[in-house]
């Protein structure tokens, strides 16, 4: 399914923009998606695009925001963010990336959970309550746990 691939690549595009995944991770996943779906025009176009900035623009321009499978998008995003969270010992650094990430989400999902937490989870840090911020992030990251 082409839309499914684009949703996953949209997660990568957002995370690439925030330096939360590497170009190599994106390329590897794009290759896998393309091999499973060689007739997909979007994937073919992205396979040929060598400029990562142009690839991100292409993905953002071709994603159907109104028909985004929010749960699928959220599951993929939270899975990737969980890895980033575990690998980032500095909660303030992570928090700053998360707020920036929230601003780059489509407006139609910014204010629904679990995405909304990206906007406010860093608030307790302003009064030194790291534990509360961590609790909010961990709750957000586990949002889709079955």
- So what's the pLDDT on residue 4? 63
Q: What is the pTM of this model?
A: 0.91
Could you report the per-residue pLDDT of 46-87, keeping only the tens digit for each? Answer: 999 999 999 999 999 999 888 889 999 999 999 999 999 999
Angle of CA points 141, 115, 47, to nearest 5°: 85
Which segments in the chain show pLDDT lower than 50? Answer: none
- Provide φ and ψ at 110, rounded to 5°: -55, -35
Q: Is the peptide bond before 125 cis (omega within 30 degrees of 0)?
A: no
């Amino acid at each position: 399914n082409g839309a499914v691939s684009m949703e996953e690549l949209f997660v990568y595009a957002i995370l690439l923009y925030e330096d939360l995944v590497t170009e190599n991770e994106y390329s590897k996943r794009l290759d896998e998606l393309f091999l499973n779906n060689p007739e997909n025009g979007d994937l073919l176009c992205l396979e040929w695009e060598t400029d990562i900035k142009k690839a991100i623009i292409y993905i953002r321009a071709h994603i159907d925001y109104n028909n985004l499978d929010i749960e699928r998008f959220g599951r993929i995003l939270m899975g990737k963010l969980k890895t980033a969270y575990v690998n980032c010992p500095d909660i303030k650094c992570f928090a700053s990336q998360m707020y920036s990430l929230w601003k780059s989400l489509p407006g139609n999902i910014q204010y629904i959970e679990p995405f909304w937490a990206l906007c406010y989870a860093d608030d307790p840090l302003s009064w030194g309550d790291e534990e509360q911020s961590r609790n909010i992030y961990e709750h957000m990251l586990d949002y889709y746990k079955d």
